[in-house]
Amino acid sequence: MLTVVAVLVTLDPAGYRPNLPQGPGITLDESFNVQMGVYLVESIKGFGLGILDPQSAQEVFGNPAYNPDHPPLGRLWLGVFHEISRGVAPVDSGDNPFVTIHARTGSAFAFALTVFLVGVFAARRRGSLAGVTSSIGLAVMPRLFGHAHLASLETVMGLTWTIAILGAIHLWARCADSASNDISESDSNVALKPDLPGDKAAILCGLFVGLALLTKMQAVLLPPLLSVWAFWHWRLSALRPLAVCGVTTALVFVVGWPWLWLDFFGHLTEYFGRTTGRVSLNVWYLGQVFKDVEAPWHFPWVMTLVTVPVGILLLAAIGLWGARRRILSDPATSLIVGSVVAPLILFSLPGVAVYDGARLFLIAFPGIALLAGVGVSGFHKWLVAREWPARPILGILLATQVAGVMTTTPYYLSYYNVAVGGTPGAERLGFEVSYWGDSYSRDFFHKMAEAVPDNAIVQVTPVLHQFQLAEIERQVPMLAKGTSPTGRRVWLVPADKPLAPYRNRGRSEGMGGSSFPAEFLAVFHRRADAPSTKLLEEAGWELIGAETCQSVVVASLWRRSSSN
């Protein structure tokens, strides 16, 4: 409850709820997810169960308006919450078919559910202290907390991944409550001997994995991870439940995505082969620019170590050390560790694209929180043995982990832990401090409104896809509605495009064009693609406004005279 409230009151990206604290700005990919989510909800409302009819499926999923770059479940989740939020707490959206802030509530509830499930699981297996620690540890990870504010698929993927992992442990490695309490004895060498699941349990496990596959590509890790885990612990006896689980997973994935029905083999190949044909992105890492498929193998490991709060990492390390003798013998411990390690190994492999900070492997973070819950029990015993005030010390330790969220709000995606000196230290070491455009926030556009004359042109860099600026103009009220009778407050144009077409467009829409040269420039500081501050100053630009995270500039507004 605390998590969902904390996220919901800080969702506003652009001024739709001016009386509440601001949230992250509109990010690069949100519009695609919200648009498709609303499209799927409207289609289901129109067709009902008839959407499963092949002809209806062709009309919906064969429509050029449908974008099959991701499976439908995560986007459908966002679309459902978009409709609920629009009905419960509508905002003035004009003629926009969707509003990002409404869909963001879907991520807020998905994150809160993940926090709840992790806490309940840890509490039932290791006690209330472990449950509380795991929940708090997950909730205060700024990168996860930040993504819970965005209408993106990462948070829903984290929920379905967590359900699949915890569901597999519960169904495959379940034990009596009395035996469960013994798991907290991390120094025990006695491995549990759980029974194999029956067909019903295997079907349920397959359902969970299928739902994860219907959310995002990262879920392809689950079948091999669960197979290796099951064969390691149960040898050939695991063959039958794995087969049942696998068949169920395949059926759920195919039945749940009607787009596959239209050309099964062609579309299946297209989806799983899409990663090889995608546009390459730049990665800024340790002061260098890499192509996403050429990033060093240690990128995911280092990014995990520097983006999880240090206190949570220390507790997780204690938990991992205490359970070191059980990792290979205890099914629960081994799968939790596997859920952390497997994503990091995948994104360490040569040729596998990795970019956008820790975004692609955030699915590893719930496992880290669970390991922290394991570690807190051992740390508590260590404190008690020395007659130190255990509860106050643990309370202070957990309370201080909230500092990362508090000091980076609303730019949670710019967070780095104290091991590297926070965001300022990360910038000095050459880490990316802003990668997804969230620094174009409500406050940034207020500064733009104060500095830029009505109907002027503002160049923007970097622009990473063709719809980026159009969506910002639609989703930021002061740009969509304008503040003067002649039209929009400003025109946003890519910095590398000719300006004449935008002036002509303004005239054709009755807005008089722009009487100002392009003397303003907006930058979000994605160092892999954005010009450096030094380069801008040398080119004659003058800084007139900036958004900062822990004193590090994450977005800036510049001006230069027409003579330059």
- Within a domain: residue 543? yes
- For 189-213, the pLDDT digits (tens) are 444 456 678 899 999 999 999 999 9
553 part of a folded domain: yes
pLDDT at 488: 55
Instruction: Report yes or no on 534 lying in a domain.
Output: yes
pLDDT tens-place string over residues 398-451: 999 999 999 999 999 999 999 999 999 999 999 999 999 999 999 999 999 888
| Position 523 in a domain | yes
Distance CA 211, CA 53 (A): 21
Domain that holds residue 499: 442-559
**pLDDT mean across residues, the chain:** 89
Residue 303, number of CB atoms within 10 A of its CB: 25
Residue pointed to by tokens 């289609």: 43
Q: Is residue 339 part of a domain?
A: no
What dihedral angle (degrees, nearest 10) is formed by the CA atoms of 217, 220, 225, 230? 140
Report the number of distinct structural domains present in the chain.
1
Query: In angstroms, rounded to a whole number, what is the distance separating the alpha carbons of residues 417 and 263?
Result: 47
Residue 535 lies in a domain: yes
Say if residue 33 is exposed, middle or buried (CB neighbours under 10 Å; 0-12, 13-18, 19+). Answer: buried
CA-to-CA distance for 130 and 119, rounded, in angstroms? Answer: 8
Give me the pLDDT at residue 106, please. Answer: 98
Q: What is the DSSP string of 209-261?
A: HHHHHTT-GGGGGHHHHHHHHHHHHHGGGGHHHHHHHHHHHHHHHHHT-THHH
Give the Cα separation of 116 and 239 in Å (integer).
32
550 is a domain residue: yes
Q: Over the stretch 101-135, which tens digit does the pLDDT of each residue have?
A: 999 999 999 999 999 999 999 999 999 999 999 99
pLDDT attached to residue 479: 78
Q: What's the angle, vertex CA 432, arms to CA 402 and CA 438, rounded to 5?
A: 65
User: To which residue do tokens 């449908």 refer?
Assistant: 66
- The reported pTM is 0.92
Higher pLDDT, 487 or 137: 137
Q: Is residue 461 part of a domain?
A: yes
